[in-house]
Amino acid sequence: MRTMYHQLLVLGALASLCSAQNLTSVLAANNSTLSTLTSLVAARPALLATLGSAKNITILAPTNDAFSKLNTTGLSDADITAVLTYHVLSGTYPSSAFTNNSQFLPSLLVSSPYTSLSGGQVVDAKLADSKATLTTGLAQDSTVTTADVKFDGGVIHVIDTVLTIPASVSTTALDLNLTSLYGALNATSLASPVDSLTNLTIFAPNNQAFANIANLVSTLSTEQLVSILSYHVVNGTVGYSTDLKNGSSLATLGGGDVHVTLENGNVYVNSAKVLIPNILVANGVVHVIDNVLNPNNTSANPSATSAAYSGASTATDGAVPFTSGVSATTTVATAAATTTSGASASSTHSTGGAAIQTGAMGVAALFAAGALMVDL
């Protein structure tokens, strides 16, 4: 108790210098729920000073229970500071601003190596089952439990789960059981370059999409596979679902364009349907699709009866290409590999059964992407 009292005094003394006494008062008044957050902020004077002087911000405040679910083993002080910074949004967003459609709100997390997005990392904010919800890295959801706690710098929303900083493309692919994509990127030595790019959009075929062309994979040269994978990457443009407009085209890393169609509430890229939209990654966004795109067959017709790859079929033994020796890292179900549900550009975000990291491991996973040996 004495330690907590001292921390609150530190908050009060420092915050008064920063003209943020009301924030301190709010934290103190909610000590039974937010004492862990109070302790973590008090231990970081630079962050405290930022919060104390900031105006027009939104603080997403995890409860004590939310923090108790985290395994912080192996995290540095910089890592924990980054996690806390990700919970501060640039702008004041009352609960009335949340709608059924995703909004991608900028946070104060702008530094490398935690993000390489121009303008900083974002959170996906929307209403889910009429509840204000924030979706962050590894498709993890946090729900607002107490909304619109005002202080002189903006507003606080109390949330039930610590936000997960979006991870690299490789880590995210493993967590969502996109193991074919992960294996293919490694087979072509594209994994590291893709993880290092800034401001990108990836249309990520699920495992079933790769399985559907299994008979052709063995005939592809490395150069051909690089060309195909590069056609799934849009470099220099972060295309969230709200940016995917009907009839628009996006230039890919491979040089050709992909074409967006909105039809019957679904989003299509060429003739591939977006199954899971808006998976945030450290350097952009990933949309899971149901077919492997073909840079030599760029039909924008979602109703096309012919496959993107002529003569393609599954393997006779049911093998999924590029997955030998690769295992998903998640601890829960991984239906993202085979889901067939659609996703609207304006609909409430849903992982559609995608793998979600458990709360006890979510943050730690962001900083511990294990290296795997891939046997192709």
As given in the structure block, the two tokens for residue 332 are: 């829960």
CB 207 within 8 A of CB 214: no
Lowest-confidence segment of 44-53, 111-120, 140-149, 326-335 by average pLDDT: 326-335
Cα(376)–Cα(373) distance, rounded to whole angstroms? 10
Lowest-confidence segment of 10-14, 159-163, 317-321 by average pLDDT: 10-14
As given in the structure block, the two tokens for residue 286 are: 């990933």
Taking only the tens place, the pLDDT of each residue in 126-156 is 999 999 999 999 999 999 999 999 999 999 9
Examine domains 2-159 and 169-358 and report if their fold is the same. Answer: yes
* pLDDT exceeds cutoff 90 at 23: no
Superfamily of domain 169-358: FAS1 domain (2.30.180.10)
Position 296 scores a pLDDT of 92
Average pLDDT, the chain: 85
Number of Cβ atoms within 10 Å of the Cβ of 103: 15
- Where in the chain are the domains? 2-159, 169-358
Position 192 scores a pLDDT of 97
Share of the chain above pLDDT 90, in %: 71
Taking only the tens place, the pLDDT of each residue in 298-352 is 877 777 656 788 888 898 888 899 999 888 875 433 333 333 344 554 444 333 3
If we measure between CA atoms, which residue out of 243, 232, 207, 161 comes closest to residue 321?
A: 207
pTM assigned to the model: 0.84
Lowest-confidence segment of 32-36, 103-107, 330-334 by average pLDDT: 330-334
The residue-averaged pLDDT of 198-211 equals 98
* pLDDT exceeds cutoff 60 at 359: no
If we measure between CA atoms, which residue out of 176, 208, 229, 180 comes closest to residue 354?
A: 176
Cα(364)–Cα(376) distance, rounded to whole angstroms? 29
The residue-averaged pLDDT of 21-41 equals 90
For residue 192, what are the CA distances in angstroms to 121, 195, 207, 224, 368?
20, 5, 20, 19, 15
The residue-averaged pLDDT of 350-376 equals 36
For residue 291, what are the CA distances in angstroms to 228, 255, 272, 295, 321?
12, 19, 5, 12, 14
The residue-averaged pLDDT of 266-281 equals 97
Q: Please provide the CATH number assigned to the domain covering 2-159.
A: 2.30.180.10
Query: Helices 21-29 and 2-17 sit at what angle, rounded to 10 degrees?
Result: 160
At a CB cut-off of 8 Å and minimum separation 6, what does 148 contact? 94, 95, 155, 157
* pLDDT exceeds cutoff 70 at 56: yes
